[in-house]
Amino acid sequence: MSERKKTRFRRGIGGFIASVAVLCVLAYGGVALFFYVGQETLIFRPTPLPASHVFNLPQTTEISLAVDGATLSALHFKQPDAKGLIFFLHGNGGNLSSWLRTTDFYRKNNFDVFMMDYRGYGKSTGSIDSEAQLHRDVMTAWQSVAPQYERKKRVIYGRSLGTALAAKLSSEVESDLTVLVSPFYNLSAMREAHYAWLPAALMRYTFTTDQWLPGAKSPVIILHGAQDELIEIDQAVRLKALVPGVELIKIEGGTHNNLHHLPQYTEPLSAGLAKL
């Protein structure tokens, strides 16, 4: 090969590599932009319900809560002479119809339950625009129902995404017990576990459970599946280390979605409620 051809070849290879590099940078930038702008799509997985949907649960009242720019759908199961209230903050998917299919557990333990759908979930209108907005909605829901139980036991319960909301609420209001099921340390820890190649600076939502939990105004119980494939149990262990008084129950055989089917979950939870 002549020197001229060699030079052309080298230039061609160099140009190809440069083009690939540019494409990679553009692709990374596009993914990063989507991660930043479309963060709600990655975090929240709502399943809407038609406004005509009817929840067929005995002794359960459907409630509409007015918040800034939206109306939240909630369910309130009440029974005679209940010991108290479980204020339930659910995970990032589904809606009330999938999270409250039966009231048997609450009936057995003599607790009422109040559960809300976040904006865009179920029959709730609007959409989640910021973390601060979501926390305000949770506080509005708490203030709407908690005064009814001032002389009874009040439990703040969070599942998965709801654990961060529960931890913050527990640091701001008086309650008798906080229950966190499958909690994460904070959202940066989740990013590191699933999107480590994206910089932390892109996070618009932080959900800093680790900062709120030490300020909880009640005893705290954490239940976490030892085989949780989405939120590894190490995150619960790290939270426990922050607050030595926290009771951590590791559930063998527990994954992220099967805990409520296991006696290793229901029995210690019932025992914790019985102590109140």
Instruction: Please say if the pLDDT value at position 37 is more than 90.
Output: no
pLDDT > 50? residue 16:
no
Lowest mean pLDDT among 71-80, 113-122, 196-205, 265-274: 196-205
- pLDDT exceeds 70 at position 30: no
- Which positions ≥6 away from 44 have C-beta within 8 Å? 92, 118, 120, 121, 128, 161
Q: How far apart are CA 86 and CA 157, in angstroms?
A: 7
- Are 177 and 156 in contact, with CB atoms under 8 Å apart? yes
Give the mean model confidence (pLDDT) for residues 136-153. 97
Residues 204-223: tens digit of each pLDDT: 899 999 999 999 999 999 99
| Bridge partners for 46 per DSSP | 94
Alpha-carbon distance of 179 to 222, in angstroms, equals 6
DSSP state of 148: G
CA gap 82, 75 in Å, rounded? 16
pLDDT of residue 32: 52
Residue 51 scores a pLDDT above 90: yes
- Whose tokens are 């030892």? That residue is 226
Q: What is the mean pLDDT of residues 124-139?
A: 97
**Which positions ≥6 away from 238 have C-beta within 8 Å?**
185, 189, 210
Let me know: does 156 contact 169? Beta carbons within 8 Å. Answer: yes
In this prediction, residue 204 carries a pLDDT of 86
More confidently predicted of 14 and 260? 260
Q: What is the pLDDT of residues 174-210, one digit of tens each?
A: 999 999 999 999 988 887 776 655 676 667 899 999 9
The answer to whether the predicted template modeling score (pTM) of the entire model surpasses 0.75 is: yes
Task: Answer whether residue 42 shows pLDDT above 90.
Answer: no
Mean pLDDT along residues 76-98: 97
Residues 169, 179, 219, 189, CA torsion sign: negative
Q: What is the rounded distance in angstroms from the CA atom of residue 106 to the CA atom of residue 123?
A: 23
